[in-house]
A and B are shown apart, each in its own frame.
Chain A
Amino acid sequence: MQRTTHRRRLLARPVVVSLAAAVALTATSCAKSEDDTSSDTKSSAAADAAQKVASPAPGGKACTVDAYGGAKLDLENATVGFSQSEKEANPFRIAETQSIKDEAKKRGVKLLTANAQSQFSKQISDVQDLLAKGADLLVIAPLNSDGWDPVLQAAAAKKVPIVTIDRKINATACKDYVSFIASDFVEQGRRAADQMIEATGGKGEVAILLGSAGNNVTTERTKGFKDRIAEKAPDLKVVFEQTGDFAREKGQQVTEQLIQSKPGIKGIYAENDEMGLGAVAALKGAGKKAGDVEIVTVDGTRNAVQGIVDGWISGVVESNPRFGPLAFQTLDTFTKGESVAQDIVIEDGAYTSGNAKSGIGKAY
């Protein structure tokens, strides 16, 4: 009895899988979403949104190919491997991967890509695959900070320089990897605070929609915001801090509770755009008008910037996902034998009512 059911179960699995695949195919073949006519052309906007180094870090440590222990080579003839951490299901990751691809194309460099689908073990084997396929240089967007030893050893054995983007790995710069390029999340929090102070006039009560608990982005964006408020606008009080898990629906629900219990709230700082847009939905649902509550968000997605144009959002601090130009420039400089900084902070833009309309093409 037991055996027969087991066999049936084994049999059922491939059937279910192939059925699901068939469903996915047929479902998309005749789908018609609202704006199929105006097909998306988001990625093409990337060209003019190239980034700069925010802090050339004069006091920061630098790294050269001699110190790292590799050989000079010509980037144009090299193969670059790119390992993406999360599946490209949110604007940030999509823009990040696209930017790497665009820059490789622009420079005529051969690019190999892999996506770990949010599984760390997959990312490790992805990178090992890239090395095996002959990548001379690596750009990695790490999913975790730890656990990179096997990859680093393999790369070191082949003398392959590594640049990590958007998240640091716990290893020695200029020995295990060359440089780390990322935004400064604390700084993003400070700049959001500046925008909030300006929007509210530095007085009143504000709320924070926190990101997911236990996430360094959440802690750093919160720290920067609070520090700057304490320092520059002591009359601005943070009276409400609840998590919206970086998700729009959760942001909406928490904001609904907030405006019920604290109708006098003057500003909401959302630690990402999605929660900010959720807050906008909540305000609309409660019959508020644009501008009643000042909303400042971080990320710089197109929807949020559109929110500024519509008047619902006061300001958006950008968290720049376009690492392509900077990553390749770093690799280029490095492989030529010149010195590059070990920690490179990329410049994040900002959107306010002044530049939202013109800058929306730049948003991702």
Chain B
Amino acid sequence: MAPPAEVLAVRGLSKTFPGVRALDDVDLTLHAGEIHALIGENGAGKSTLIKLLTGVYRPDAGEIVFQGRKVSFATPLEAQKAGISTIYQEVNLIPLLSVARNLFLGREPRNRFGLLDMGRMNREAEQTLSTYGVRVDVRRPLRTLGVGAQQMVALARAVATEARVVVMDEPTSSLEPREVETLFSVIRGLRDAGIAVVYVSHRLDELYAVCSTVTVLRDGRRVHRGRLADLDRLSLVSTMLGRDLGEVREEGLTKFTGEHGAADAEPVLTASDLTVPHKLHGVSLSIRPGEVVGLGGLLGSGRTETAKTIAGALPARSGGVTVAGVPLRAGSTPAAIRAGISLLPEDRKSEGIVPGLSVRENIALAALPRLSRFGLVSEARVDSVVDTFIERLRIKASSPHQKVGELSGGNQQKVLLARWLAMNPKVLLLDEPTRGIDVGAKAEVQKLVDELAADGLGVLLISSDLEELIEGSDRVVVLKDGAVVGELTGDDVTEDKLMRTIAGNDPARDAGKEAAVDG
């Protein structure tokens, strides 16, 4: 019995975008019938690698050997024709065409007049799909199917086009548990048919359920490759996050100073049982005045969604938020803002700043009604607010009239902070407040968060930077797959415990304590 053939070999792949080395000398080998997990946090280079494999980008350096031949795909279509298919989160088929037409798109059976043989197409489509456990009327438009079924059609199509490699990018993000099971059996079927699968997901359970091998990327480099069974969850998480287990870290690497907030004060914000379909499953948390509560978890665990739901930007199916004991009208950003909740969104460039407007207008934006009389803006009041915050936050702009889009990331973030501080908020929700900003600005922002908490604000801090999360937070609530799986308080707020909780091992048991977490 010969070892399975090598289907795809990637050697020394590199790709640089202006200012960012997205992928740096990465190797990847796939064998027939291998289900390979590709994991990494934000910016690790997963999507760049996938896009290089499927012809969306061209590599700067390195080579891709597919079925023994060096290849260079100019377009995704070329890659697909050669036998590398990609199934994206959003199904990339044609929603208005029938299921059968989608399945046979580009290789439709013809009758002897050269016309589409619809009868044959429908029959074969029905047959093919039934092997995937999908039993639907194949004449219906694709969009009438559920997302799971659509994904199956995409998969069936990929297999039918004689794919040798199937890349799946977060295929389960919008599936129901039952659909996930079907998907898994299909993936195992692919494996048995000798197809290599690259499986990208943040859900550790899924990885361990279907994958045999794993590649971990971090900061554009491959930091691990091996059999998944040889790596327990904790090691996987620590490899991914780049933290060694048990390593005692020197404190004071960040500008956070530590504890604040009275432990017995009434919470300024409580969120209970927040549920958003496919995203959050009953998340509850509370923040006391002067307290910084960290929100931990991997990418896709529901951190951003939790913050957005609290801020009214994401409609919850159930659950509620109270501010200082007063229930908040759900799903309304203005109501949340009036109640004193401010959200610094993760995607600063597209959801935070208004790039074409000036620093001044951006700072005054949310507070405009307060700075106006009878709908007329009082320029004097705006100026005084703007000047105060430019000075207090040390915003570096050529003038208050400079466009915010022209500022550095750190200054943009400060402008956003100023916008919210001008509203005198009770609670600040900070989603990745220091991502993509330079070291100096980062320290300033961290110091500011500390000061604000000391002034009595409740802060929810979301950060992929473990140091920042650990040192900045008084308490860390850990999310996994949209649910709270643990809460670290006091001396338990350490990287080690955090990673154990994220990995799903019971940190209490490991530490020999009795506290029960998980749900």
Report A's interface with B, CB cutoff 8 A. 2-3
The contact string, 1 if C-beta is below 8 Å from chain A, for chain B 105-144, is 0000000000000000000000000000000000000010
Which residues of B lie under 8 Å from residue A2 when comparing CB positions? 95, 143
User: Within the complex, what minimum Cβ distance (angstroms) separates B328 from chain A?
Assistant: 24
Which residues of B lie under 8 Å from residue A3 when comparing CB positions? 143
Which residues of A lie under 8 Å from residue B95 when comparing CB positions? 2
A3 to B147, CA, bound (A): 11
User: 3 pairs across A/B with beta carbons < 8 Å?
Assistant: A2-B95, A2-B143, A3-B143
3 smallest A-B Cβ distances: which pairs? Answer: A3-B143, A2-B95, A2-B143
Instruction: Count residues on chain B whose CB falls below 8 Å from chain A CBs.
Output: 2
A3 to B96, CA, bound (A): 11
Q: Residue on B with the closest CB to A6?
A: B143
A311 to B161, CA, bound (A): 82
User: Within the complex, what minimum Cβ distance (angstroms) separates A127 from chain B?
Assistant: 33
A100 to B95, CA, bound (A): 52
The contact string, 1 if C-beta is below 8 Å from chain A, for chain B 73-99, is 000000000000000000000010000
Which residues of A lie under 8 Å from residue B143 when comparing CB positions? 2-3
User: Within the complex, what minimum Cβ distance (angstroms) separates B315 from chain A?
Assistant: 11
Q: Residue on A with the closest CB to B144?
A: A3
User: Within the complex, what minimum Cβ distance (angstroms) separates B316 from chain A?
Assistant: 16
User: Within the complex, what minimum Cβ distance (angstroms) separates A3 from chain B?
Assistant: 6
User: Within the complex, what minimum Cβ distance (angstroms) separates B305 from chain A?
Assistant: 15
A2 to B95, CA, bound (A): 10
User: Within the complex, what minimum Cβ distance (angstroms) separates B353 from chain A?
Assistant: 25
A17 to B95, CA, bound (A): 28
A298 to B104, CA, bound (A): 63
A214 to B95, CA, bound (A): 43
A129 to B233, CA, bound (A): 76
User: Within the complex, what minimum Cβ distance (angstroms) separates B167 from chain A?
Assistant: 24
User: Within the complex, what minimum Cβ distance (angstroms) separates A334 from chain B?
Assistant: 48
A297 to B143, CA, bound (A): 60
A241 to B143, CA, bound (A): 57
A30 to B498, CA, bound (A): 74
Q: Residue on B with the closest CB to A3?
A: B143
A3 to B150, CA, bound (A): 14
A343 to B143, CA, bound (A): 59
User: Within the complex, what minimum Cβ distance (angstroms) separates B399 from chain A?
Assistant: 41
A3 to B174, CA, bound (A): 15
The contact string, 1 if C-beta is below 8 Å from chain A, for chain B 141-175, is 00100000000000000000000000000000000
A286 to B95, CA, bound (A): 61
A114 to B492, CA, bound (A): 86
User: Within the complex, what minimum Cβ distance (angstroms) separates B86 from chain A?
Assistant: 21
User: Within the complex, what minimum Cβ distance (angstroms) separates A1 from chain B?
Assistant: 11
A2 to B174, CA, bound (A): 14
User: Within the complex, what minimum Cβ distance (angstroms) separates B11 from chain A?
Assistant: 41
User: Within the complex, what minimum Cβ distance (angstroms) separates A293 from chain B?
Assistant: 51
A3 to B144, CA, bound (A): 9
User: Within the complex, what minimum Cβ distance (angstroms) separates A28 from chain B?
Assistant: 38
